Amino acid sequence: METASLTLIGRPGCHLCDDARTVVTRVMDELSSRPDAPALTLDEVSILDDAELNAKYAEEIPVLLINGRVHNYWRIDPVRLTNALLELT
């Protein structure tokens, strides 16, 4: 089984970050029961804790990375995320 590492980059108090977290966790929950889906992990990182991420993404948060590569900025589309994760298998 493939494994996909998701990283959600944001900051506390960001309503778009909260929305993105909701979408990501919902997609992860939906895929957890599918045998054709990769195993998923989620790490959340705040730009307030990392000067390099702050310089790179301050105007683009939330940012979702899949296996270290940018998947999307600002709003996370659940269908697009699901398709991207299923394509990993």
* pTM exceeds 0.85 for this model: yes
pLDDT tens digit sequence for 18-27: 999 999 999 9
Find tokens 């991420």 and name the residue: 53
End-to-end C-alpha distance for the chain, whole angstroms: 8
What per-residue confidence (pLDDT) applies to 1?
Answer: 57
Which residues on adjacent β-strands are paired with residue 74?
Answer: none
What per-residue confidence (pLDDT) applies to 89?
Answer: 78
76 is written with which tokens?
């996370």
pLDDT tens digit sequence for 29-86: 999 999 999 999 999 999 999 999 999 999 999 999 999 999 999 999 999 999 999 9
What per-residue confidence (pLDDT) applies to 2?
Answer: 81
13 is written with which tokens?
């108090």
